[in-house]
């Protein structure tokens, strides 16, 4: 059974909180969501970092232009949310299933 979100609360400078249909509440810090982006680019980087912890981060992730924040989010159909980040990243589609899998709480 796939659980669906009943309520989403995006605090752009801190976290995304989701209350799920089974009553579970998950809180995803913004930097964690960015790190765990399901985009092909970020997945490849995570795989490289798992093999070699000295992997050089792309300049967009390593820059110190201020704290990372979410600029906004939009629903994608009935199955996902797309989040735009202040470092320019906006290609990851976070499906409800994926968000349950990476739940840090």
Extents of the domains making up the chain:
5-101
What percentage of the chain exceeds 90 in pLDDT?
65
47 token code pair: 């795989």
Eight-class DSSP state of 94: E
Phi, psi dihedral angles at 51 (to 5 degrees) = -80, -35
Residues with Cβ within 8 Å of residue 4, at least 6 apart in sequence: 20, 21, 96
- 61 falls in which pLDDT band (50, 70, 90)? low
CB-CB contact of 51 with 101 (8 Å): no
Q: Which CATH architecture has domain 5-101?
A: 2-Layer Sandwich (3.30)
Average pLDDT, the chain: 87
Judge if pTM exceeds 0.85. Answer: no
pLDDT mean over 69-87: 96
31 or 50: which carries more pLDDT confidence? 31
The reported pLDDT for the residue numbered 40 is 74
């Amino acid at each position: 059974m796939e659980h669906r979100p009943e309520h989403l609360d995006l605090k752009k400078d801190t976290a995304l909180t989701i209350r799920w249909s089974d009553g579970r509440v998950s809180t995803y810090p913004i930097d964690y969501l960015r790190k765990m982006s399901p985009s092909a680019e970020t997945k490849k980087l995570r795989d490289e970092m798992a093999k070699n912890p000295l992997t050089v981060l792309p300049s967009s992730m390593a820059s110190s232009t201020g704290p990372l924040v979410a600029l906004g989010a939009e629903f994608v159909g009935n199955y996902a949310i797309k989040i735009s980040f202040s470092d320019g990243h906006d290609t990851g589609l976070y499906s409800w299933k994926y968000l349950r899998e990476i739940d840090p709480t």
